[in-house]
Structure 1
Amino acid sequence: MNDHLPEDLDDRLRAYLATRALQPGDRLPAERTLAQRLGVSRPTLRHALRRLADDGVIEIRQRSGAYLTGLDLADLLAVRMRLEPFAAALAAEAATDRHRRLLRDALRDAAAHIDEVDAFARADIAVHDIVADVCGNRVLADVLASLRRAAGYSRRATSGDPALRRRTLTQLTGLVGAIIDGNPAAAEQAMAVHLGDVGAALPGTPPQRRPESPSRARHRAVQ
């Protein structure tokens, strides 16, 4: 078998789980089956499964197997809706020429892979990672990194929608443009719109559970 780097295997394993339409509490396929499907050895697969368990995506039970957790994706995205627009605003203030180049490169990568679910998801993640890195607040960046790892499963599930991928590309274009232009308000709004659209597309999430944008929450608070 041709073993891949753990980071690559993580992405491929998450994508495979997303395409299986598993529900929280469902048991993953047997270890031997997963290893064969992904073309890796069982020790390498176990390493990737442990990483998913660390991220809260699955639960490994002794002598029973691995199970998809009951992670509440709407709650997870609600937290991101509070933090990532703020990070985007900070990034618009702190971005250097190097950061702007990295954002343009990630955006071009997303556009080049608009018809490829996994590659587009990776480019989408790259944009968010760069924004977090640029914001200049290490505590915030570390929290966002943890949230994005936990959201990896849902990201690949929503990236399977071609219409959503096209909208996401348009939204990321606006976000990157606002950061490059040094416009914090526009960057904050662009990130909020993007995450709100993702929230509306979460499978099985009723409208009342969908996360609220920071600007809408502030407007409601002063009414």
Structure 2
Amino acid sequence: MKSIKRETMSKQVVDRIIGLLKSRALNPGDKLPSELELCEMLFVSRPVLREALSSLETMGIIRRKTREGTYFAEKIGSKPYSIMLALSAGDIPAIMEARMALELGLVTIAAEKITSEQLRTLEQLLNEMSENKEGYAPLDKEFHRVIAYSANNPILEGNIDPLLSMFDETLSQIALQDRSHESTLREHQAIYDALAKRDPVAAHASMYAHLHHVRMKVMNSL
């Protein structure tokens, strides 16, 4: 029989610890047993366990507090999705499609959940974009981010920031044929108007029109 590699054992420990969440033996925010207890439960050495815990911490699944112990994260963070995106770096069509798939769903939900305060934030961002014909990209990104978070879905929240950052990084590496400031502002205004009316269908259509134009601009520049 072939000996089990330490790396394989570490991965198995990762799966077993994640299994504690899946089975609801422990819940998000709960404290994990001590290292000694985990070693006894999983029949592994302390070096193997620590390797597994380091992997889980890198992925944002656990957090370690000095003198307090190790805890499961209370909500899904962006690290697991960031790692997955890093493996797709350079695949521009896939990144664009992923952004469309995520944001079209988010804006539809946002039309039902967005608050008056979040609408005021979007309106302020539109005004600032209108006054900044050059260098309005950060405002554009924040506009989309506010919409994503207004969907108020903790499972999806961890996805939007790394996806927008990856998209921005991708755009910085290609020479884009820039569209006019006026058309970009007009498309964002249409999205805002649909959200203000709490109209999911119109919000989806407006977001699709905007992202489709962005996708065509990107693909034509390749």
* TM exceeding 0.5: yes
Query: Which residue of structure 2 aligns with residue 13 of structure 1?
Result: none
Q: Which has the higher contact order (CA 8 A, sep 6+)?
A: 1
The Cα of 1:163 is off from its aligned counterpart by 2.9
Could you say if the C-alpha distance between residues 182 and 191 of structure 1 is closer, same or farther in structure 2, counting changes exceeding 3 Å? same
Identity across the alignment (%): 21
- Of 78, 84, 89, the match for 2:103: 84
Counterpart residue identity of residue 111, structure 1: S
Alpha-carbon separation, structure 1, partners of 2:140 and 2:218 = 16
- Cα 1:160–1:181 change in 2 (3 A) is same
Partners of 2:175 and 2:191 in 1: how far apart?
Answer: 18
> Structure 1 residues 185 and 160 mapped into 2: Cα distance closer, same or farther (>3 Å)?
same
Question: Hey, what does 1:109 align to over in structure 2?
Answer: 128
Please state if 1:146 is matched with 2:162: yes
Whether 1:130 and 2:135 are equivalent positions in the alignment is: no
1:149-188 paired onto structure 2 within 5 Å: 149-155=165-171, 161-188=177-204
- Residue 34 of structure 1: aligned partner: none
SS for the counterpart of 1:71 is coil
Q: Could you tell me which runs of 5 or more consecutive residues in structure 1 were left unpaired when the two chains were aligned.
A: 1-53, 59-68, 207-223
TM-score (normalised: structure 2): 0.56
Counterpart residue number, 1:193: 209
Query: C-alpha separation between the residues in 2 aligned to 1:158 and 1:166?
Result: 22
Q: Are the equivalent residues in 2 in contact too, given 1:85–1:192 (CA < 8 A)?
A: yes
Write the letter of the residue equivalent to 2:120: R
Picking from 84, 93, 103, the partner of 1:74 is 93
CA distance in 1: counterparts of 2:177 and 2:195, whole angstroms: 26
How far the C-alpha of 1:143 sits from its partner, in A, is 0.8
Rounded to whole Å, the distance in 2 between the matches of 1:159 and 1:99 is 33
Aligned residues: 141
Task: Give every structure 1 segment of 4 or more consecutive aligned residues whose post-TM-superposition deviation is greater than 6 Å.
Answer: 54-58, 157-160
* Residue segments in structure 2 that go unaligned for 5+ positions in a row: 1-81
- What SS does structure 1 have at the residue aligned with 2:179? helix
Q: CA RMSD in A?
A: 2.8
Q: Deviations over 1:164-217 (max 9, x none)?
A: 4332211100001111111111111111111100000015567xxxxxxxxxxx
- Identify if the C-alpha distance between structure 1 residues 159 and 189 changes in structure 2 by more than 3 Å, giving closer, same or farther: farther
**Alpha-carbon spacing, 1:162–1:204, altered in 2? closer, same or farther (3 Å):** closer
**Partner in structure 1 of residue 116 of structure 2:** 97
Q: How many angstroms apart in 1 are the aligned matches of 2:199 and 2:146?
A: 17
